Each structure stands twice: as structure tokens, then as C-alpha cells.
Amino acid sequence: MSVLVAGGTGLVGSAIVRELEKQGRDVLAVNSKVVNLEDRKATFDYIQTHKPEVIIDAAARVGGIGANNTFPVDFLSKNIQIQTNLMDAAHAVKTPQFLFLGSSCIYPRDCAQPIKEEYLLTGPLETTNSAYAVAKIAGIELIKSYRKQYGYKWISAMPTNLYGPNDNFDLENSHVFPALIRKFSEAAANGTSVQLWGTGSPMREFLHVDDLAKAVVVLLEKYNADEHINVGTGEDVTIKELATLVAKATGYTGEIQWDSSKPDGTPRKVMDVSRMKSLGWKPEITLESGIAQTVDWYHKNKMSK
């Protein structure tokens, strides 16, 4: 069975490719150097040429609070283009299976916790990343619409905050996890202090991408429903606790300064993952071991570059 992984060299896509290849699947990893998914004709031509039996959409324009807040047009327009071009191209060749990967930011800012799938569209979004969230909500709706109109067994999954190898460690547009690893690693090496955004009080849930990749395999084999499904650990920590764990893993022993003039984002975000666990999946990598693995990968692959 041929599987196309869009965004196949990024944080999420590369983990999915590794897991599928372990299982002997015929995998085609696609990134922007292979085909520009914002280009509708190029996307249609590529899918028409390869005619994959499964498409996993892990391609997206992503970033942290600062990038989302500064470039909302990019995060809304480009993500809608990418996912719509890919789904429409898949429909053109009648791809039997399609898995759309979204984000937990689709849920209301002040959502009841833990977040159940049915809480979608029950309140206002977090304003700092609402453009990205709306794009992902549009992707969920397009999957549901294709199922309704054409009878496809296409599905959507909403992962929690992800981390692991091949992440984006650029301080200008990365997410909190890789930004912490880079900041603490450089500070430990240079003997400098670390300043972080916000108060450190928001609570977040983190899942290693290798655990997500295993969840993707389970979903392709066992899940077929209109409603999107949450994928996460169901456990959260404060950003301050996360920072302490990352500091320890990088060997940083200096002061941590918090800039409370910067936004915290959503106060708490932890997902109800009971539906995913009912399929026989559960996360295997603890946060502490995952941080150690990711810090080790960063030091070997990015620190000196």
C-alpha cells in the first residue's frame, strides 16, 4: 500500500515516515522541495502521477505565539491553500484514505478541561493563534464534507503539542518546546542567563512525535468516523515546570527570568484522549525521557550549526 506523507521531512512527518517504513510500507515523503502544495496545479499533477492509496497531511505553515500573532494572513491563507489543494487532488484520483492532522489550538481559549472533541466551536478562540486555528477547523470541515458528499473514509486527528527530533529550533518562529531547548543549551554553553516569555503559569500537554506516529498507524487501521479525534497524553505541566525540566536536561544552572509583559496564550490546554486510547493506543515515552532524547538530538544535529 503506497502512502504519501505531506510534510514528510518535518517534525511530525519524519516521525510518521520512520514508523511506516519500520512496518514495511511503501512511503513517499513530500516536502516543499519536492512539490509546492500551495501551488494547486503542481499539487494536482504530483498526486495524479503517483496516485497514493493513503495520504497523510502533516504539511502546514506553523510557528509559536509571536509568529502566529505577527503573520495571521500567512497562517490562515497558506494553510487553507495547502490542505485544500491536497484534499481536492486526492479526490481527483479517488484516494481511498486521507488523514488530516490538525492542532489542539482549534478549541476555545477558555475551554472546559480536559478538552473533549465535542467542545469544538463552543466558544471564542485564543486570539494570538486564531488564524491558524480557523484554517485547521476548515480542514476538519472539508474532511467531513468529503465524507458526506462522496462517501470517503477520510479522517481528522488533532494532536496536542508535539516535540522531538527534526523540530524547528528558530527562536523567531518556533514553538515553546524547541525554543526552550535552544535557549537553555546556548545559555549553558555561554554562561549567560535565560529570559522567557510570559509568567510560566500556563499549563500545556506534550506528546513525543514517535508516539504520535504510532497513533497514526492505529488510526489508519481502526478509525473511521466523521468526528475528529484527539491524540495526546491527557497529562499537562506548567511552562515553568517544563522550563525547569529542560534546564536540567541541558545542564543549565543559572537564573530563569520571566517577562510578564509578553503574552501567555491559552491558560490551560489538556485534552481528553479516551477515544484514542479506546482504540488500543497509549503514549509510551515519558516527558522526562523525551526531553533527554530531544536535547541529545539537538546537541548532535543543531548545536554546532
Active site residues: 132
Mapped onto helix, strand or coil, the DSSP state of residue 268 is strand
Alpha-carbon dihedral of residues 213, 15, 5, 212, nearest 10 degrees?
A: 20
Written as nine digits, the cell of 291 is 526531553
Per the CB < 8 A criterion, the answer to whether 104 and 62 are in contact is: no
Amino acid at 79: N
Q: Residue 56 pairs with which residues in a beta bridge?
A: 5, 99
DSSP state, 127?
A: G
Per the CB < 8 A criterion, the answer to whether 81 and 98 are in contact is: no
* Gap between the Cα atoms of 212 and 221, Å rounded: 14
* Gap between the Cα atoms of 44 and 202, Å rounded: 42
130-150 helix and 79-92 helix, angle to the nearest 10 degrees: 10
CA angle 138, 161, 233 (to 5 degrees): 110
Residue 151, exposed/middle/buried by CB under 10 A (0-12, 13-18, 19+)? exposed
* Gap between the Cα atoms of 227 and 216, Å rounded: 16
Which helix (H) or strand (E) is 209 found in, with range? helix 209-222
* Gap between the Cα atoms of 99 and 84, Å rounded: 13
Q: Residue 155 pairs with which residues in a beta bridge?
A: 99
* Gap between the Cα atoms of 36 and 299, Å rounded: 31
